[in-house]
Amino acid sequence: MEAQKVFKGNLPQEPIATRKASGIVIAKLGPVLPQLMTGSADLMDSTFVAWSKAPSMTFQSPNLSGSGKGGSFAGRQIRYGIREHAMVAIANGLAAYHPNAILPVVSTFFMFFLYAAPAVRMAALQRLRVLYIATHDGIGIGEDGPTHQPIALASFFRAMPGINFLRPADAEEVMGAWTIALQANVPSMLSLSRQALPLLDGTSREGVARGGYPIFQSKAALNGVPDLVFISTGFEVHLAIEVASLLTSDACGTRVVSMPCQALFDQHSAEYKEEVLPTAGALIVAVEAWSSFGWARYAHASVSMHSFGLSAPADLLYKHFGFEPENIAIRVRKFQQRHTKNSVVMVPAVGKFEELLL
């Protein structure tokens, strides 16, 4: 698989949006994988699913050549127009035609996959190998505002049976997400950022295959159960690492777990899940700028959104909604103090999940 040939050391070392990292895979696959057919709902240039600008690669009538919009019926890049439901329904038909004959990849902003949800559900029901590239996946989309900012949508797709919903934290995890999507016998949705993310030291595509795995651990936590565990996804993972670093001390061990795919993590043994997320002696906090719905299965508290977003630059929005590392660290420290007695962690009971930004 071409994504496997792009080793971590060869990935861009500067911060890069995960939608652009996904485009690196498309650029590698397009010329060598004839089954690949990509397309977008009028957002081809924003979702990075086109690997060639040659007119012959655009799937449309060659009779349009006089208009300067000529294409070819052998083209493998489809401009669907603003028709999200039709786009995904067509992709279902392409995938169902014959196993492995066509690998459809369709794309739009994450929020707009809501319009296509019935067709996505049918793909999951039929176990069709379709890849959904869902970009601009958070409040970091910025000035487009709350109409474009998904807050609760991930909860819906995570709850849907028969689909892998993956939110990678950097370019390395994007390579892992693509590897899973290409090998799976079910549809996969990649939730990707508009804004640039740093390439993190602890990420690995092998870790992505496990669904959730530690990517940061302080020295104080290396020889035992950490006092604080942060779970995060996508853009917020590097924020969680900053928070963990702020809270790390000789007396407080911290760990950060990247969980790009809950469904894959849930398939592991109880022993592995306990190793990653200790149920005794550690307080677990989810950090994600979406709704917290679903995180109570894994964590005792969350740093999450509780309203629709706003129209403003991404940095201002993260600050406005409380996602600055310093602010999160203060709130997590208070949460830890409330649940520590005589240096012993008092793990909250079921139903005592706390929202730390309320």
Three-state SS string over the chain comes to CHHHHCCHHHCCCCCEEHHHHHHHHHHHHCCCCCCEEEEECCCHHHHCCCCCCCHHHEECCHHHHHHCCCCECCCCEEECCCCHHHHHHHHHHHHHHCCCCCEEEEEEEHHHHHCCHHHHHHHHHHCCCCEEEEECCCHHHHHHCCCCCCCCHHHHHHHCCCCEEECCCCHHHHHHHHHHHHHCCCCEEEECCCCEECCCCCCCHHHHHCCCEEEEECHHHCCCCCCEEEEECCCHHHHHHHHHHHHCECCECEEEEECCCHHHHHCCCHHHHHHHCCCCCCEEEEECCCCCCCHHHCCCEEECCCCCCCCCCHHHHHHHCCCCHHHHHHHHHHHHHHCEECCEECCCCCCCCEECCC
In whole angstroms, give the CA distance from residue 95 to residue 280. 45
Residue 143 falls in the annotated catalytic set: no
Catalytic residue, candidates 2, 84, 173, 288: 84
d(CA 246, CA 331): 12
Angle at 343 between CA 342 and CA 349, to 5 degrees: 90
> Looking at the annotation, which residues are catalytic?
84
